[in-house]
């Protein structure tokens, strides 16, 4: 029976009858597993027999999370990592060798940009960041040494979209692998594997966990055998695995992903309506805003807009910082996807390590703010924004 996502997040990959009827998935907080006999150990190592060996190679609690996310993302296999960046670096190590080229969306998370810079400097693996709104635009940037297309959509923090259908069409023509960082939408709102991507990854720190108490990453692929090869090579030998306790927390958080995403979206839509009426706000970036020139792309690949809004305020960096400092309920913090509403200034925070030229090419100006809309009552959030805008307006009058 094909289950809905709302049911998958609660039941997939776990049979309580095999665990003393324990309704909650047990936490297997163990580093190793005993073998009945020496021969069993030999067979598990050779792959002749399946079963647990050592928790860096697999753990029953972590496996439940991996199975759940595989089905949620409509993939064939998954791997859990100790951070989103561990998932990013592992898939890029798996797909590239010295001299290769990676085609990237025009914006990417600051640390992913940092990783690509290291790869270029140390191993000659080059990359280009380009806008990906049409097949022609992407096609033009493909080089003989290009091996993969790596995109975020929506892009952190500009909320610009990449046309996934166009990316997949070009990739198929050139035999390129497609990796999509799906952190901003969560598997509830967008499933790139269904469109034809090869890999999807998440900073599970964000919406998948949803409670701001774990750093974690997930990678899902469309080929089970290849995912197992990554498990027994890059993941086993680099060792960037997820702890059983973090997997246990993620399993708990994931159960409410659908209801949380609906509430995040509901609140974000209310806040957008409010922000549109504010004189201090210059531009608002949200995929499902009818005035967004990329609204058509959003509707083709996402089922709703989610909880992230970016906007620019009048007054440049000083105006943006003054506005943030005037908020009280809304916390100044990086990360996103938590119950608490968070605001951050990408130019001086998440993307501060990106050189200014590239940062501006990505669209990250000094007046850009990113709001991760939480689960509080929307009216309370609006009241907090209102008193902070009043401060900004007073400043503008004085100036
Ligand atoms: N991919 C995206 C799109 C991200 O936003 C982040 C973290 C990562 C990967 C890395 O995941 P991590 O290792 O932190 O689990 N983004 C952050 C942000 O925007 N604010 O703080 C962290």
Does residue 206 carry a pLDDT above 80?
A: yes
Per cent of the chain over pLDDT 70 is 100
Mean pLDDT of 368-383: 98
3-state helix, strand, coil in the chain (%, to 5): 45, 15, 40
Average pLDDT of the chain, as a whole number: 97
Catalytic member of 56, 270, 322, 331: 56
Using CA positions, which residue lies closest to atom 5 of ligand 1? Answer: 109
Does residue 349 carry a pLDDT above 80?
A: yes
Same domain, 119 and 78: yes
**pTM, to two decimals:** 0.97
Q: Which of 203, 236, 254 is the last residue of a domain?
A: 254
Q: What is the pLDDT of residues 249-262, one digit of tens each?
A: 999 999 999 999 99
Same domain, 127 and 34: yes
Question: Which DSSP state fits 130?
Answer: E
Same domain, 337 and 274: yes
Same domain, 38 and 161: yes
Same domain, 248 and 280: no
Same domain, 371 and 330: yes
Does residue 17 carry a pLDDT above 80?
A: yes
Predicted confidence band of residue 395 (pLDDT cuts 50, 70, 90): confident
Q: Ligand 1: does its nearest atom lie under 6 Å from the Cβ of 338?
A: no
The residue range of the domain holding 96 is: 5-254
Does residue 397 carry a pLDDT above 90?
A: no
Does residue 246 carry a pLDDT above 90?
A: yes
Using CA positions, which residue lies closest to atom 19 of ligand 1? Answer: 335
Same domain, 104 and 206: yes
Catalytic member of 163, 181, 338, 366: 181
Output the pLDDT for position 1.
79
**Contacts of residue 159, Cβ cutoff 8 Å, sequence gap at least 6:** 184, 285, 286, 287, 308, 309, 310
Residue 109: active-site member: yes
**Rounded to whole angstroms, how far apart are CA atoms 179 and 200?**
6
**CATH number, domain containing residue 346:** 3.90.1150.10
Query: Do the beta carbons of residue 294 and residue 105 sit within 8 Å?
Result: no
| CA 114 / ligand 1 centre spacing (Å) | 12
Output the pLDDT for position 192.
98
Q: Ligand 1: does its nearest atom lie under 6 Å from the Cβ of 185?
A: no
Q: Which of 254, 271, 302 is the last residue of a domain?
A: 254
The total of structural domains in the chain comes to 2
Ligand 1 pocket test target in 203, 204, 335 with most atoms within 8 Å of CB: 203
Same domain, 225 and 337: no
Output the pLDDT for position 238.
93
**Rounded to whole angstroms, how far apart are CA atoms 338 and 354?**
25
> Looking only at Cα atoms, what is the longest distance across the chain?
81
Ligand 1 pocket test target in 108, 109, 334 with most atoms within 8 Å of CB: 109
Predicted confidence band of residue 323 (pLDDT cuts 50, 70, 90): very high
Strands of the chain (E only): list them.
77-81, 101-105, 126-130, 146-152, 177-181, 199-203, 217-221, 281-285, 308-313, 331-332, 342-344, 368-372
Q: What is the pLDDT of residues 298-314, one digit of tens each?
A: 999 999 999 999 999 99
Output the pLDDT for position 271.
98
Catalytic member of 28, 109, 207, 286: 109
Q: Which of 227, 254, 281 is the last residue of a domain?
A: 254
Q: What is the pLDDT of residues 78-94, one digit of tens each?
A: 999 999 999 999 999 99
Mean pLDDT of 216-237: 96
Q: Ligand 1: does its nearest atom lie under 6 Å from the Cβ of 186?
A: no
Q: What is the pLDDT of residues 165-180, one digit of tens each?
A: 999 999 999 999 999 9
């Amino acid at each position: 029976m094909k289950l809905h996502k709302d049911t998958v997040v609660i039941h997939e990959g776990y049979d309580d009858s095999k665990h003393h009827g324990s309704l909650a998935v047990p936490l297997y907080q163990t580093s190793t597993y005993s073998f009945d006999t020496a021969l069993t150990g030999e067979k598990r190592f050779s792959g002749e027999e399946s079963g647990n060996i050592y928790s860096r190679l697999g753990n029953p609690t972590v496996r439940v999370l991996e199975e759940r996310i595989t089905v949620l993302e409509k993939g064939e296999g998954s791997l859990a990592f100790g951070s989103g960046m561990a998932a990013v670096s592992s898939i890029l190590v798996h797909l590239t060798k010295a001299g290769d080229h990676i085609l990237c969306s025009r914006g990417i998370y600051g640390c992913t940009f940092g990783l690509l810079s290291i790869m270029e400097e140390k191993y000659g693996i080059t990359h280009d960041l380009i806008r990906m709104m049409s097949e022609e635009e992407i096609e033009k940037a493909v080089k003989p040494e290009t091996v993969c297309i790596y995109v975020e959509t929506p892009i952190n923090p500009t909320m610009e979209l990449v046309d996934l259908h166009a990316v997949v069409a070009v990739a198929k023509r050139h035999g390129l692998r497609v990796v999509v960082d799906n952190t901003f939408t969560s598997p509830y709102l967008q499933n790139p594997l269904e469109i034809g991507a090869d890999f999807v990854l998440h900073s599970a720190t964000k919406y998948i966990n949803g409670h701001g108490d774990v750093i974690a990453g997930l990678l899902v692929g469309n080929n089970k055998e290849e995912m197992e090869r990554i498990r027994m090579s890059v993941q086993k030998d680099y060792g960037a695995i997820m702890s059983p306790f973090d997997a246990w927390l993620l399993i708990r958080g994931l159960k409410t992903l659908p209801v949380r995403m609906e509430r995040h979206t509901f609140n974000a839509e209310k806040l957008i309506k409010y922000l549109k009426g504010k004189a201090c706000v210059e531009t608002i970036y949200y995929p499902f805003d009818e005035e967004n020139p990329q609204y058509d792309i959003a509707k083709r690949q996402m089922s709703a807009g989610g909880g992230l809004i970016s906007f620019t305020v009048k007054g440049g960096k000083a105006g943006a910082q003054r506005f943030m400092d005037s908020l009280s309920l809304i916390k100044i913090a990086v990360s996103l996807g938590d119950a608490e509403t968070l605001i951050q200034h990408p130019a001086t925070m998440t993307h501060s390590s990106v050189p200014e030229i590239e940062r501006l090419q990505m669209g990250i100006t000094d007046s850009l703010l990113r709001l991760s809309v939480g689960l509080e009552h929307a009216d309370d959030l609006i009241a907090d924004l209102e008193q902070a805008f009043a401060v900004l307006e007073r400043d503008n009058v004085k100036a």
